[in-house]
Structure 1
């Protein structure tokens, strides 16, 4: 059986076979920043957080509480890191939360954050370099189709690089040390096969999100410093569905790195 298919199958089973524990581990944490934003900006629930000009029909979000959004952003980062570490540890160590929140692993979370920043820096450097090459090619060929194809290729290429060096994240989550080079070398034998799950996961999430926008989205004009922009707002059903898709996508992306770590570093078998 093709390794890429086995990998994708294992990831899907890992996530959808553990939705209950995953919800217990992550959902409360991920709800914290949302609660903070809504408590500090209650108008988001009533629609009072944006003003609509009666004459032009244009909306502006200038009355939003900035500090509440900043606090929610910080809480979101901390809670996402906490949830990611807890999910990795559940899969690799079968560690269940002992209360409402998963166990706090401060040193692991700090190392995870540091490794995530390292990956981000590498991705930024690689993306910048590749973007320059793409820009030159597009300038020479003057073809919109080529520009779109190369842009999509850039996104998938960066995802491929991130996956290959991303094994340092589950390693940090369980307190192990793994370098960028070690992760890259460990994934070398399956570097071609991991393209399949990367593409399928990205396409599935894109199709689902676009479907939600098409079914439950409404475009309204928003005044910005750069002029009038169309802002898509979702109905409550759309928001719930969008959050659910985002949550599952987070679990799947983390499960992909966790599965690769378990298989290639720890020698575990794929289902």
Structure 2
């Protein structure tokens, strides 16, 4: 199955270059997590009702901004390493500001498309499933899965251009859509595999006490795996569908 080939190729891309993956993403990712943890309880002050609201809002905004910049930085650096063999010899990869900015703009456009499609699908699927199965936990999970898979498939088709943006190529959103034309079923299968594996990765966290050291460590490790494999899937899609590389 081609979808499975794409997925396993992306996983090998990360763990076959594990040391490089850590050098490119490790420090940035850890700083992201430290900021999130440090600002998680910001603004808590007994007897003050205004300060917690302002503090929490500021902390959430700053953490979100740090996460966004860090994620884009990692993605662009990883695409360039895999596709152009751009070396990485320090703990912090080069910051390609212009390419990161262009990557963000394209990602934002794709995100808006995903939000519109996701809302429409969730409304339709939710109405059908909940009317048939009632408001149960299973029905809710089924709605999420049935909505997530097609939305993720659409996102992957458009996002196939993003690694090219990281390389400085002039590509439009429709370039990714056209390049993956005819492989819609493969994209759906890939989305289902990713959604299922994400669910599996989340299961260990259910057995751990929320907020505990083991829980935080597991979140960091599993989160890193999801980020790197997700970025690698886009790299694989670009390499295969746009650069016409074989899946080996």
TM-score (norm 2): 0.85
Identify the residue that residue 240 of structure 1 maps to in structure 2. 217
Q: Give SS of 1:5's match.
A: helix
Contact 2:39 2:63 in 1 (8 A): no
Return closer, same or farther for 1:103/1:129 CA change in 2, 3 Å cut-off.
Answer: same
Return closer, same or farther for 1:10/1:104 CA change in 2, 3 Å cut-off.
Answer: same
Picking from 187, 193, 196, the partner of 1:194 is: 187
Q: Give SS of 2:234's match.
A: helix
Per mean C-alpha deviation after superposition, the further-off stretch among 101-110 and 89-98 is 89-98
Task: Using the TM superposition, give the Cα deviation of residue 202 of structure 1 relative to its aligned residue in structure 2, in angstroms.
Answer: 2.1
1-structure distance, mates of 2:113, 2:15: 31
Identify the residue that residue 27 of structure 1 maps to in structure 2. 26
Q: Give SS of 2:151's match.
A: helix
Task: Using the TM superposition, give the Cα deviation of residue 78 of structure 1 relative to its aligned residue in structure 2, in angstroms.
Answer: 0.9
- Would you tell me which structure has more strand in proportion to its own residues? 1
Contact 2:164 2:238 in 1 (8 A): yes
2-structure distance, mates of 1:240, 1:263: 34
Return closer, same or farther for 1:13/1:267 CA change in 2, 3 Å cut-off.
Answer: same
Identify the residue that residue 120 of structure 1 maps to in structure 2. 111
Task: Using the TM superposition, give the Cα deviation of residue 65 of structure 1 relative to its aligned residue in structure 2, in angstroms.
Answer: 4.5
Identify the residue that residue 10 of structure 1 maps to in structure 2. 9
Return closer, same or farther for 1:129/1:175 CA change in 2, 3 Å cut-off.
Answer: same
Contact 1:119 1:166 in 2 (8 A): yes
Per mean C-alpha deviation after superposition, the further-off stretch among 156-165 and 203-212 is 203-212
Task: Using the TM superposition, give the Cα deviation of residue 25 of structure 1 relative to its aligned residue in structure 2, in angstroms.
Answer: 0.2
Q: Give SS of 1:121's match.
A: helix
**Runs (5+) with no aligned partner, structure 2:** 47-51
Identify the residue that residue 174 of structure 2 maps to in structure 1. 181
2-structure distance, mates of 1:83, 1:95: 13
Return closer, same or farther for 1:241/1:136 CA change in 2, 3 Å cut-off.
Answer: closer
1:22-75 C-alpha deviation (Å, 9 max, x unpaired): 11001111222333455567x79xxxx798xxxxxxxxxx59953344323222
- RMSD of aligned Cα (Å): 2.8
Picking from 68, 84, 90, the partner of 1:93 is: 84
Identify the residue that residue 49 of structure 2 maps to in structure 1. none
1:160-198 C-alpha deviation (Å, 9 max, x unpaired): 111111112112111112222221111123221233332
User: Size of the alignment, in residue pairs?
Assistant: 241
Return closer, same or farther for 1:116/1:139 CA change in 2, 3 Å cut-off.
Answer: same
**1:165 aligns to 2:158 (yes or no):** yes
Identify the residue that residue 120 of structure 2 maps to in structure 1. 129
**1:149 aligns to 2:148 (yes or no):** no
Q: Give SS of 1:119's match.
A: helix
**Runs (5+) with no aligned partner, structure 1:** 52-61, 218-232
TM-score (norm 1): 0.79
Task: Using the TM superposition, give the Cα deviation of residue 127 of structure 1 relative to its aligned residue in structure 2, in angstroms.
Answer: 1.3
2-structure distance, mates of 1:26, 1:111: 20
Identify the residue that residue 225 of structure 1 maps to in structure 2. none
